[in-house]
Amino acid sequence: MMLALGPLSLGPLVIAAPWGLLGLLMVPAILAIHWFRRRSPPRSVTGLFLYPPPVPSAASGRRRERIVASTSLWLELLAALALTWWLADVHPAADQRGRHVGIVLDDRLRLTARLPAGDSAAARLRVRLGEMLAGLRPADRVTLIASGAVPRVLAGPAATPDQARTALARWVPQAPWHELDAGLALALQITAQSGATATDVLLASDRVAPDLPAGVACVAAGEPVAASGFADARWLRDEAGDRLVVRVVASGAPAPRRIEIRRRGHVVQTSAPTVGGTSIIELASGVGDTDEITATLVGEDPLPADDQVILRRPERRIVRIALALPPAIQPVVERALRGLPGLTLNGVSNDLLITGDEVTTPGTWLLRIAPAAGSDAVLGPFLIRRGHPLASDLDGTGLLWLGGLPQDRLPVDAEPLISAGTQVLLAERRRGRDRLVTLYADPMTGTLAQHPLWPALIANVVAARRAALPGLSEPNRSANQTTYLVLPPTATAVEVCPPDAGSEGSASTTTVFSADADGGVLLPPLGQAGAWQVKLAGAPWQTLQVNALDERLGDVAGAETREITVDTPAEVAVERRRSPAERLIPLVLAALAAALACWFWARGR
């Protein structure tokens, strides 16, 4: 293994690659070749006046001769020195030290708000930061970072000022609301690795961050303006029809606006929103028949990024339920189911079977009502498994329960959810994705059928089964919200493609998520607005619409123009990067010197 040598300092010069000095061995080699050249042997002639002036000619041999200071010799030495210069990268010591500045750009959409002068905070920051980068020396280094839930490095780490200016000119804020902590932490980490301190980090935004770390500089180029926009929007579908639930917030004192609902590009409905509150808009007949609608706030607004949302039609997640109960118990169960939305009693079920027998059908959940014989009556206290979806919001106060199962008779693979004393009242068993829920109770005796716990328990079972149906729980999400989806029984992983996946110049890639034992996948906040494609085995399956909605995103009334400066930091050692001229000049010089040396040598012969 070759020994690694660091840069060598020789006063005003630095040798970046000391191993390149081995190229100096070419100098004694060239001198040795010229030293052992011998001249042509003497030849007898009739008269010197018959011949032109003699030309010295050298030939190889082992006899040492006097070195002739010919033009070819000097050119060969020049070529050797030029190659050594290129290999060792000899340069002034000033090029080895400089500042390493980390710049964090606030990438939130609100920096695109139109200001009274016609520009935006982002445009002003590009000008201001461009001037700052133009004032840096070529030896200085810049790391340009765009903030986000996952920050993006636009230039660097440790790019030249010219490279940072090129990346800055292409920067356009495009991210939804997020905190700036991750971007600042990344900038502090990168600059610290080069020996710099927090004073080398600069935040560029439309206002000074309230929790700016000590020693971090800030450039704010915003201006307060009045604006309004959507903070939330949902499309609800149930037995009552289709409804659009929106919340519009305002910063400053914007002009009144109205909501237009478009379907396939045509306005189908208008409404006046309630600023600062929630508006429920009953969608007109036929609007819900389309897969997608667009809600737009109409009117002048300096920040159009939050004035439009695209909503996809949510699926009606119907739970198919079959009953196979004794005639005395079935009416009690039907009464509890009658008030629940989103279900059908079809007699044949692929989703949920409520019965008194223990039967298993793949893909079907089972709710078995099976009172244990000879059990004692229970008045409480009841121990309820908190946090479990089947036992959510259950309260057994004042309940007389009959039909519990002694704990020593509970199957080993069953998990008790409700118990009282030594008796288990509700238990759950799992068979892959299917659940076998057993209710050890006799609804016809005691007070269970008349107690509020009874309909709440049935509602929990139906809601849990609905949540486990394949598909998206909600096709419209904010960029900062998580999304839960359930895969079909045969699928184990899902591909999530961003809106710009596959487009020219896009750095976005498809992400694969694996399902858990229940077939569920919890997608993290996706961050980028647009229509995300969800694929199974490479084929499109679902579309998830992500909108950049957040109450803080439209707050442009608090913008300001201000700068927080810090002391100029000391220079640190930075990684040197040769310019194209520094890479080419030694090679061109060596090639030219070698070519001329060959020409003079041939002419000398």
* Token pair for 455: 């309909």
Q: List every span in the chain annotated with CATH 3.40.50.410.
A: 96-224+558-573
Asked if residue 379 has pLDDT above 60, the reply is yes
Q: Please report, for residues 84, 159, 186, 187, 486, the alpha-carbon distance to residue 140 in angstroms, rounded to integers and kept in the order given.
A: 26, 9, 19, 16, 51
434: nearest Cα among 518, 501, 358: 518
Q: List every span in the chain annotated with CATH 3.40.50.880.
A: 319-467
What is the pLDDT confidence band of residue 47, given thresholds at 50, 70 and 90? low
Buried b (16+ CB within 10 A) or exposed e, 518-556: ebebebebbbbbbebbbebeeeebbebbbbbbbeebbbb
Asked if residue 3 has pLDDT above 60, the reply is no
What is the pLDDT confidence band of residue 141, given thresholds at 50, 70 and 90? confident
258: nearest Cα among 293, 282, 228: 228
What is the pLDDT confidence band of residue 86, given thresholds at 50, 70 and 90? confident
Q: Angle of helix 71-88 relative to helix 580-604, nearest 10 degrees?
A: 160
pLDDT at 2: 44
Residues sharing a CB contact under 8 Å with residue 137, sequence separation 6 or more, in sequence order? 98, 161
Q: Please, which residues bridge with residue 435 across strands?
A: 430
Report DSSP state, residue 108: B
pLDDT at 52: 66
- Written out in words, the top-level CATH class of the domain with range 471-547 is mainly beta
Q: List every span in the chain annotated with CATH 2.60.40.
A: 471-547
Asked if residue 63 has pLDDT above 60, the reply is no
Which one has a higher pLDDT value, 570 or 266? 266
Q: Looking at domain 319-467, does it have CATH number 3.40.50.880? A: yes
Which one has a higher pLDDT value, 128 or 505? 128
- Taking only the tens place, the pLDDT of each residue in 87-124 is 877 756 545 567 888 999 999 999 999 999 999 999 99
- Taking only the tens place, the pLDDT of each residue in 504-515 is 555 568 899 999
Rounded to whole angstroms, the Cα distance separating 81 from 28 reads: 12
Mean of the pLDDT values across residues 332-344?
A: 90
Q: Please, which residues bridge with residue 159 across strands?
A: 142
Cα dihedral sign for 215, 220, 224, 227?
negative
Q: Among all chains, which residue has been given the structure tokens 């003497």?
A: 42
Mean of the pLDDT values across residues 429-455?
A: 91
Report DSSP state, residue 75: H
What is the pLDDT confidence band of residue 147, given thresholds at 50, 70 and 90? very high
Percent of the chain with pLDDT over 70: 86
Mean of the pLDDT values across residues 400-418?
A: 92
pTM above 0.75, yes or no: no
Asked if residue 358 has pLDDT above 60, the reply is yes
Of 442-446, 545-549, 558-562, the one with minimum mean pLDDT is 442-446
CB 404, CB 416: distance < 8 Å: no
- Taking only the tens place, the pLDDT of each residue in 235-244 is 998 877 899 9
- Taking only the tens place, the pLDDT of each residue in 253-287 is 777 889 999 998 899 999 988 888 888 999 988 88
pLDDT at 254: 77
Q: Which fold has domain 96-224+558-573?
A: Rossmann fold (3.40.50)
What is the pLDDT confidence band of residue 1, given thresholds at 50, 70 and 90? very low
Q: Within 13 A of 529's CA, how many CA atoms are on the CB side?
A: 18
Asked if residue 58 has pLDDT above 60, the reply is no
Mean of the pLDDT values across residues 587-592?
A: 84
Mean of the pLDDT values across residues 209-219?
A: 88
Mean of the pLDDT values across residues 511-524?
A: 93
Mean of the pLDDT values across residues 36-43?
A: 60
Mean of the pLDDT values across residues 456-483?
A: 93
What is the pLDDT confidence band of residue 434, given thresholds at 50, 70 and 90? very high
Asked if residue 230 has pLDDT above 70, the reply is yes
Mean of the pLDDT values across residues 495-511?
A: 76
Mean of the pLDDT values across residues 393-414?
A: 91
